[in-house]
């Protein structure tokens, strides 16, 4: 089993629920590590459906958005689904400004997101 | 007459490494957090500073530690003015494609400048494209 330093995982049915350890996802080294850990879930651990719960995240930069986009492509390539939930308004605005709210399937909360898989 | 506490200047020259960028970012944010910016303003200033400093270190100076990034922040009663300069060859901001174009939504990079422009009152580059000046007006009545 891979070690996840930046993620907290729980399995709910066929969905892997991911929470973030870091409140601010911006340091370049952390973002690289975070990206690798997320990609491992798909590529090495063969998980298909991911729900990213952002409840603990207070800040993220454009570099983190890039990792999420790459993750979305990997999930789709493996026939899975990626959903995001519990995004606080300040961060949702970042998704809205960049129109990534159209690319990602964003739900208000974890229950909504789980029900939509 | 005492000097307005909102009038101050911080100037730093840092090597092109991420830790140094982070320290100057935190120094500036600690200062802003003592002032009456709204939480949304603070979020936006943090994001714009983060993007601009990372751009200067990573894309401008390409992590070359022999090159410096200069950060000047001048605060007044009306606004905060920030200049970030690198020693790289620069770029033309007009060449950066619109990341919200439907054909480019799934491209992982190229969102930093758009975010800076959205959260700051003014963002301008010099002709060479290695100096960016950003301003943020203070909230009315502050």
Contact B54 A72 (CB under 8 A): no
**Domain-located, residue A1:** no
CB B20 within 8 A of CB B64: no
Q: What share of chain A is helix, strand, coil (3-state, %, to 5)?
A: 45, 25, 30
Residue A49 falls inside a structural domain: yes
Kindly state the tokens that stand for B105.
């939504």
Q: In whole angstroms, what is the distance from residue A109 CA to residue B18 CA?
A: 34
Is residue A72 included in any domain, yes or no?
A: yes
Q: Measured between CA atoms, how close is A82 to chain B, in angstroms?
A: 14
pLDDT band for position A24 (50/70/90)? confident
pLDDT, tens digit (0-9, with 9 covering 90-100), for A92-107: 999 999 999 999 999 9
> Is residue A40 scored above 90 in pLDDT?
yes
Q: A1 touching B, CB under 8 A? A: no
Residue B120, both tokens: 């700051």
The reply to whether A110 falls in a domain is: yes
Check CB contact of A109 with chain B, cutoff 8 Å. no
Domain limits for position A37: 7-115
Residue A53 pLDDT greater than 90, yes or no:
yes
Residue A104, in any domain of the structure = yes
Asked whether residue A27 is assigned to any structural domain, the reply reads yes
User: Thinking of the domain B8-137, which architecture would CATH place it in?
Assistant: 2-Layer Sandwich (3.30)
Q: Which residues of B touch A97 (CB under 8 A)?
A: 114-115, 118
Domain count, chain A: 1
Each domain of chain B, given as residue ranges in start order, spans 8-137
Interface confidence, given as ipTM, is 0.91
Residue B142's pLDDT is what? 64
pLDDT digits (tens, 9 = 90+) for A2-11: 678 889 999 9
User: B95-133: per-residue pLDDT in tens?
Assistant: 999 999 999 999 988 899 999 999 999 999 999 999 999
Asked if residue B86 lies in contact with residue B56, where contact means CB atoms within 8 angstroms, the answer is yes
For residue A30, what is the domain's CATH number? 3.30.750.24
């Amino acid at each position: 089993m891979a070690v996840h330093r930046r993620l907290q995982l729980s399995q709910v049915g066929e969905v892997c629920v991911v929470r973030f350890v870091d409140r601010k996802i911006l340091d370049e080294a952390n973002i690289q590590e975070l990206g690798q850990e997320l990609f491992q879930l798909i590529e090495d651990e063969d998980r298909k459906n991911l729900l990213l719960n952002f409840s603990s995240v207070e800040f993220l930069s454009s570099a983190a958005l890039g990792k999420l986009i790459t993750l979305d492509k990997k999930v789709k390539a493996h026939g899975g689904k990626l959903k995001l939930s519990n995004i606080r308004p300040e961060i949702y605005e970042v998704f809205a400004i960049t129109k990534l709210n159209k690319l990602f399937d964003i739900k208000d909360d974890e229950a909504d997101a789980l029900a939509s898989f | 007459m005492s000097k307005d506490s909102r009038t101050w200047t911080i100037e730093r020259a840092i090597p092109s490494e991420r830790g140094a960028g982070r320290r100057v970012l935190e120094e500036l944010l600690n200062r802003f957090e003592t002032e009456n910016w709204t939480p949304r303003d603070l979020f936006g200033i943090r994001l714009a500073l983060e993007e601009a400093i990372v751009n200067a270190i990573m894309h401008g100076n390409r992590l070359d530690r022999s090159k410096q990034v200069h950060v000047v922040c001048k605060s007044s009663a009306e606004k905060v003015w920030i200049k970030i300069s690198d020693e790289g060859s620069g770029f033309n901001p007009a060449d950066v494609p619109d990341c919200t174009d439907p054909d480019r939504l799934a491209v992982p990079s190229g969102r930093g400048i758009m975010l800076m422009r959205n959260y700051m009152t003014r963002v301008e580059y010099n002709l060479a494209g290695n100096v960016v000046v950003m301003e943020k007006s203070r909230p009315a009545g502050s």
